[in-house]
């Protein structure tokens, strides 16, 4: 019956587009990855004056070819699943959309093409393709550690922001306009460049007092950089320790997170 067949081709398509355990599926994924790589490369080369002037025309054609193919892929992804909307609203779904929109936008707005580099986000699929399950577990570990330290980091960052605002304005007072510290926002930019130890040198203190203050800021930044590192490291160490703790659950109260050397449930005292 049609319905049956319909489901059938949809299911088959799904296996090809979403899964990669069939030959067709693997082929599809690898082709897709190569397409993504080349499309990004094309965008980059096209941005180089010398290449653009010579091969701009070809790049433009290629661009539309890629867009066309990605559009088809996007449609395929939509039609072969039960809940298309869930895919559209998913992270990878939005990435896929962002990968094709710019080309169409470029018809109306010049330069929108450059947004195409956001396609590099699609490379995230690489983690799926080669079935790097353990890699994914590593990612989860990193993700967990970063998520756990996000609060602390955000506090740290907000404090750093206040610091650079104050330090920047101090330098604005000390150095003044004639030495490149043309305004407070400019000075704040300098303070960020300095405290993050980037140090472009496009703006640098000229007066003795300015250099003294700058030195203090640098030494401060030297100590401050220890904080985010400490936070993340600490969370990772804990993540590992806690992972150790996720041993068996209590047979009575069914609660988890007993130490490795625990003989009795620490919540209800039942024998483990």
What residues from 179 to 198 belong to the interface with a second copy (CB under 8 A)?
182-186, 188-189, 192-194, 196-198
Q: Which stretch binds a second copy (CB under 8 A): 4-12, 31-39, 84-92, 112-120?
A: 112-120
Name which of residues 220 to 239 contact a second copy (CB under 8 A).
Answer: 221-223, 225-238
Provide the minimum distance between the beta carbon of 59 and a second copy in the complex, in angstroms, as a whole number.
12
Q: Are 169 and 150 in contact (CB under 8 A)?
A: no
| Cβ distance to a second copy smaller for residue 16 or 43 | 43
| DSSP state at residue 258 | B
At its nearest, how many Å lie between a second copy and the CB of residue 206?
8
Q: Cα(14)–Cα(78) distance, rounded to whole angstroms?
A: 10
Give least dist CB 61 to a second copy, A: 19
Binding mask 28-57 for a second copy (x = CB under 8 A): ------------x--xx--xxx--------
Which has the closest alpha carbon to 198: 174, 225, 169?
225
Instruction: Report if residue 62 touches a second copy, rule: CB under 8 A.
Output: no
Smallest separation (angstroms) from a second copy to the CB of 251: 13
For every residue of 184-204, DSSP letters joined together read HHHHHHHHHHHHTT----SS-
91 touching a second copy, by CB under 8 A: no
- H helices of the chain, in order, are 2-17, 23-47, 49-79, 84-89, 91-108, 126-129, 133-175, 184-195, 208-224, 226-245
> In this structure, are residues 95 and 122 in contact, taking their beta carbons and an 8 Å threshold?
yes
Site for a second copy in 146-175 (CB under 8 A): 146, 151-153, 155-158, 160-162, 165-166, 168-169, 172-173
Complex with a second copy: residue 37 or 74, whichever CB lies closer: 37
Q: Residue 220 Cβ, how far from a second copy at the closest point, in Å? A: 9
- Rule CB under 8 A: choose which of 78, 81, 129, 262 binds a second copy: 262
Give Cα separations from 200 to 59, 127, 170, 223 (angstroms): 34, 35, 20, 20
Using the rule CB under 8 A, give the single segment among 11-19, 64-72, 85-93, 122-130 that binds a second copy: 122-130
Minimum distance from residue 122 beta carbon to a second copy (Å): 9
Measure the N-to-C terminal CA separation of the chain; round to a whole number of Å.
56
Stated length of the chain: 272
Angle of CA points 200, 206, 210, to nearest 5°:
95
The only residue of 117, 125, 128, 129 in contact with a second copy, by rule CB under 8 A: 117
Which one, 33 or 193, has the nearer CB to a second copy?
193
């Amino acid at each position: 019956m049609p319905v049956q067949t319909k489901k059938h081709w949809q299911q088959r398509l799904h296996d090809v587009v979403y899964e990669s355990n069939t030959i067709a599926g693997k082929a599809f994924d690898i082709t897709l990855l190569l397409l993504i790589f080349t499309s990004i490369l094309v965008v980059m080369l096209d941005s180089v004056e010398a290449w653009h002037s010579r091969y701009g025309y070809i790049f433009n054609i290629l661009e539309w070819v890629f867009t066309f193919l990605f559009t088809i892929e996007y449609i395929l992804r939509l039609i072969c699943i039960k809940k298309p909307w869930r895919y559209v609203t998913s992270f990878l779904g939005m990435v896929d959309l962002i990968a094709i929109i710019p080309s169409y936008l470029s018809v109306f707005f010049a330069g929108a093409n450059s947004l195409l580099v956001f396609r590099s986000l699609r490379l995230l699929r690489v983690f799926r393709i080669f079935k790097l399950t353990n890699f994914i577990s590593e990612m989860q570990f990193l993700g967990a550690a970063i998520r756990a330290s996000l609060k602390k980091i955000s506090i740290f960052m907000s404090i750093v922001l206040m610091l650079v605002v104050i330090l920047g304005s101090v330098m604005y007072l000390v150095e003044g306009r004639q030495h490149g510290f043309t305004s407070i926002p400019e000075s704040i930019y300098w303070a960020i460049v300095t405290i993050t130890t980037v140090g472009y040198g496009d703006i640098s203190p000229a007066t003795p007092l300015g250099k003294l203050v700058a030195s203090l800021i640098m030494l401060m930044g030297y100590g401050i950089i220890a904080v985010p590192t400490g936070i993340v490291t600490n969370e990772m160490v804990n993540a590992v320790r806690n992972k150790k703790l996720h041993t068996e659950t209590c047979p009575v109260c069914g609660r988890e997170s007993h130490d490795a050397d625990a003989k009795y449930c620490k919540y209800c005292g039942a024998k483990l």
